[in-house]
Structure 1
Amino acid sequence: RGMSGAFIASCNDPNAIFYNPGALASAEQGISLGYGRLFNNSFQILMSGALAYRLPRIGTISLGMQSMDVESEGYKLQQESTYSLAHSFLLIGDVHSKLYVGYGVNLYYLSFGETVGGLDPGNQTTYGVNLGALATLHQRTHIAFAVKNLNNPSMGSDQTFDLPQHLALGIAYEPYDGVITEVDLSQKLGEETKIQAGIEFEVMDNFWLRTGVSTYPNSISGGFGLLFKGIKIDYGFSSHPVLPITHQFSIGYQF
């Protein structure tokens, strides 16, 4: 969140599975665990976990999980979970440029708690297919695209609803070592195009500051990252025009 979600062209850790599966082959392998309070609400908790591991001659395999619970007075009203599997590899490359591609599958799970009358609304699962690519030019320019839910999945029995299809394009540039700027254009099918822009700069060895802006809704964000002996700690926040600030933390380990 520190760069307002502008990440598909510069994602360099296991969390790439949530943004651009094509970038996993160029990302650091390791594990990451995240925790967030959406709009600082104690009843809206978002948790995540991601693992990326590079295999010889095969590429990078990644696993991911995101779960959001909505609770009130100790009762779980709703649970949304996404379980992800992705594979990324170098398609073509030379000393100057490289092209990485990747694909993945999300398994979506939705469950509602019992009603006041004791009725169980039940639960349902479905799956979505994701694609992504990342091109690196002369080690400083990165161009990426990602498509989520390419197969147009839906949920529901009597009344169905489509899960949003999402397309994102991004370009990141490193003017010099320790500084990354990125601009993304993203759109959910049928909605306005969202602009996300962010910058990350290394103020000292293994310590980064981040900031960004985005539209729909208009938002500003900031955060930091710290790496010490393979352990990586990240914090980010993002504002909202009406609702309180969202805070997110993560801790990970690079293999």
Structure 2
Amino acid sequence: MIRIQDILYKITFGIILVLFSVPVHGQIIMGAKGLGMGQATMGVHDYQWAIFANPAMMSKRQTTVGFYGLRNYGFTELTDMAAAATVPTKFGVAGFGFHRYGDDLYNEMRVRVAYKNEWQLLHFAITGNYNHISFGGNYGSGGALGVDVGIAAELTEDLWIGARSTNVNKPKYPDINEELPRDIIIGFTYSFNEIALFAFDVAKDVRFPVSYRGGIEVHIFEGLLGRVGVTTEPLSYSGGFGYGQEMWGINFAVQKHELLGFSPGLDITLKF
């Protein structure tokens, strides 16, 4: 009986991949906070997972180390796992990130190194990332180097605007002739009396239609935060919560795809 259920599970997984002609890729923006806010993260200041979103928003306040996991649509085979660290120095902020998506049949891996600095109210950053894609068996693999850039500005004490562009050097996997995803995202956040944070992004991937992303984060009581968000193209809804203290924080979020179902994500951050 268990064997039959396992076979049906794999058949369902295969049907989903066949029905949707858009290639399956891992999440680009990491972190359960960003997921809970509809992935609207371009203007989120001091975001712990900024190296995967807008590197210009990496925090200069303290060293952070984070770990993140996301199970896409309930399938073990479509799992994102990531780790990130930011280290402030007197020359700017250094960031490091690692991300793996998939299983032995198909997987993607990214290793990222970022540098961020600022001049007056302008924040800017550059990220170098090594991308590797692998197919099971003897179907091939390949690697490519990409460059991302990010910029942000504090317009007022409560209003931030940010933008990032990925893979500006137009890299591609040489052996399998596939280009890496390229997009540009612009967004802002507005903080209302430290009670709520409103975020809105506009994203354009060169391969897909314009996507609009919005989210709200609300302070429920000291240390506890609630979040909701929505994303278009594809349409998805999300929500979650976070709780943190001075030296640590934990965030949980669930995203609901209009057709594929639920994707739960969890991250843990340590601060030094």
| TM-score w.r.t. length of structure 1 | 0.89
Q: Point out the structure with the larger strand share.
A: 1
Q: Is the contact between residue 11 and residue 27 of structure 1 (CA under 8 Å) also seen in structure 2?
A: no
What's the RMSD between the two structures over aligned residues?
A: 1.4
Please list every run of 5 or more consecutive structure 2 residues that lacks an aligned counterpart in the other structure: 1-34
State the secondary structure of the residue aligned to 1:13. coil
1:33 alignment partner in structure 2: 67
Which residue, 134, 137, 141 being the options, matches 2:155?
137
Please list every run of 5 or more consecutive structure 1 residues that lacks an aligned counterpart in the other structure: 71-75, 115-119
Moved over 4 A (4+): 25-28
Cα displacement (A) at 1:156: 3.8
Q: Does 1:243 align with 2:266?
A: no
Q: Does 1:153 align with 2:153?
A: no
**Deviation readout 1:96-155 (Å, 9 max, x if unpaired):** xx11100011100111221xxxxx233211011000011012220000010000011111
Alignment CA distance shift 1:61-1:202 (3 Å): same
2:97 alignment partner in structure 1: 64
**Deviation readout 1:4-40 (Å, 9 max, x if unpaired):** 1001101423310000111114575301100110111
Specify the code of the residue in structure 2 equivalent to 1:132: G
1:107 alignment partner in structure 2: 130
| TM-score w.r.t. length of structure 2 | 0.84
Q: Does 1:13 align with 2:47?
A: yes
Which residue, 102, 106, 121 being the options, matches 1:78?
106
Specify the code of the residue in structure 2 equivalent to 1:40: G
Give the distance between the partners of 1:243 and 1:11, measured in 2 at CA. 31
Specify the code of the residue in structure 2 equivalent to 1:251: I
State the secondary structure of the residue aligned to 2:139. coil
Q: Is the contact between residue 229 and residue 239 of structure 2 (CA under 8 Å) also seen in structure 1?
A: yes
How many residues in Structure 1 have an aligned counterpart in Structure 2?
A: 238
Q: Is the contact between residue 12 and residue 28 of structure 1 (CA under 8 Å) also seen in structure 2?
A: no
1:47 alignment partner in structure 2: 81
Q: Point out the structure with the larger helix share.
A: 2
Which residue, 165, 172, 175 being the options, matches 2:189?
172
